[in-house]
A and B are shown apart, each in its own frame.
Chain A
């Protein structure tokens, strides 16, 4: 009886879930098909696995080069974001000084700024610093735009930690730096890990500022490479090659998500739900 009453709910949910899973699976499956097969076979699985599509995307589409660009730039950015944001968030949530709230608000306000506003000024500044069209320049910009959310997330996390341990370590004669390094930082590690995962996924997929800042083909990140592959596809109609590229780009984030989704989702919702 209850099952029957819940049937509409199940149908509605499964319709959405089936569509999402089918659409993504279908893209991955198409990456293994031949050009003709992609257009004819619809939802059927590939007749044979054509790995050469991946080879085309990886070498002729140059996604191999872009993959290493993306890995380097994203990992470096995430590391730098954490190195500068974690201490700042600690001080903003734990220290007592005048103007602390205004300073926190100054950081948080960055979350409301529409990124396209930054296109022209940041291009000008990087050109002035002779960092335009460079991965170094893009890394700095990635760090700058990620600081607001990261500081916000970690400030909330530090504020939720108990203060007794902090007091105890000070009584034991630890300096304020030692208290941070050996007591508070280890306790904040789950929060830091969440920040790392979220920033990794966002920066891996980031493409608007990359589009503005990077110009030469050898500097491209993966989303930019995929974008040019997508545009070239209009002339070659090599759908399987494009889908192989799509698969290469989405596999890393989907893997991270599959393993760490609970952590990610709790991080996303922590700020919104108090």
Chain B
């Protein structure tokens, strides 16, 4: 039996730090979002839901919101299509499975700032890896594309993100597939099932729970996306790269010049939390089904 004293002694330190420096501050966000507050040390003024009304009419906010949704759905589509595709390929009985898994996950252990420097160089219009390779294989016209021009920069950033996150979800899906008893596939082989049949009728139902968790993790990551697009935008992040997280930071702290619209910035934070939690609830509801017995 673990006594009451030990329970208190063991839980309190973690709980105290977590509450004081993470959970309660997050809760404060709701409160601050009701104030007009233009700098630390200045008096905040209660204005009710005015910050939210302002957000509704703020085109830059809607741009950031649209970018976050594009990241979530377009990015998510490619991440999961590729992660599934490579899960099937790596699991089709080929040699070197562990090595491949290792390399696919590699970008996830590298600093995002380092990755953004690398991608900036890949996309460099004159000397970059991408345009040099395109010219080398004779695609001269494509090899002159300005990948980081205002029209392209968001999609260029997204392609890099897909490269990072595909490896992350590949790891999760592969671990799920590894748990499937191999005799299910053997039975399917005897029945003459092809790769697609095996994927759709065995793999998908058997890793349903892993898929649900993967979608939830993706939602959380996509909604809070800040670091990679921020670093990718260099000194002055162009608006085409704004996500909700970046717009929050800009409104709160500014880039070269401070802005300090703290109340307004926290309202963006509230939108992020509401977006993340409603999408998570939606996904869990859509993916709910009876427990599979095997």
- A interface residues, Cβ below 8 angstroms from B: 6, 9-10, 12-13, 16-17, 20-21, 23-24, 26-27, 30, 38-40, 42-43, 83-85, 87-88, 90-92, 94-97, 103, 106-107, 109-125, 127, 140-141, 143-145, 147-148, 151, 170, 176-177, 180, 201, 204-205, 207-208, 211-212, 222-223, 226-227, 230-231, 234, 239, 242-243, 246, 249-250, 253-254, 256-257, 261, 264-265, 268-269, 271-274
**CB neighbours of A13 from chain B (8 A):** 86, 89-90, 94, 100
A113-B26, A205-B112, A207-B113 known; A273+B172 contact, CB < 8 A: yes
Q: Do the beta carbons of B220 and A120 come within 8 Å of each other?
A: no
The residue on A at minimum CB distance from B230 is: A208
Q: Do the beta carbons of B21 and A122 come within 8 Å of each other?
A: yes
- Cα-based distance from A96 to B4 in the complex (angstroms): 10
**CB neighbours of A204 from chain B (8 A):** 111
Partner among B102, B127, B163, B270 whose Cβ is within 8 Å of the Cβ of A38: B127
Known: A96-B2, A147-B18. 15 other contacts (CB 8 A): A10-B94, A12-B85, A27-B114, A112-B280, A113-B26, A116-B226, A120-B29, A144-B20, A208-B245, A231-B234, A249-B113, A250-B111, A254-B106, A254-B110, A272-B210
- Cα-based distance from A120 to B100 in the complex (angstroms): 41
- B interface residues, Cβ below 8 angstroms from A: 1-4, 6-7, 9-11, 13-15, 17-18, 20-23, 25-26, 28-29, 32, 40, 85-86, 89-90, 92-94, 100-107, 109-114, 116-118, 120-122, 126-127, 129, 132, 163, 171-172, 175-176, 179, 209-210, 213-214, 217, 220, 223-224, 226-227, 230-231, 234-235, 244-245, 248-249, 252-253, 262, 265-266, 269-270, 272-273, 276-277, 280
Q: Do the beta carbons of B25 and A273 come within 8 Å of each other?
A: no
Q: Do the beta carbons of A121 and B29 come within 8 Å of each other?
A: yes
The residue on A at minimum CB distance from B217 is: A272
Q: Which of B4, B29, B116 has the most CB of A within 10 A?
A: B29
A9-B89, A116-B249 known; A121+B32 contact, CB < 8 A: yes
Q: Nearest chain B CB to A195's CB is how many angstroms away?
A: 13
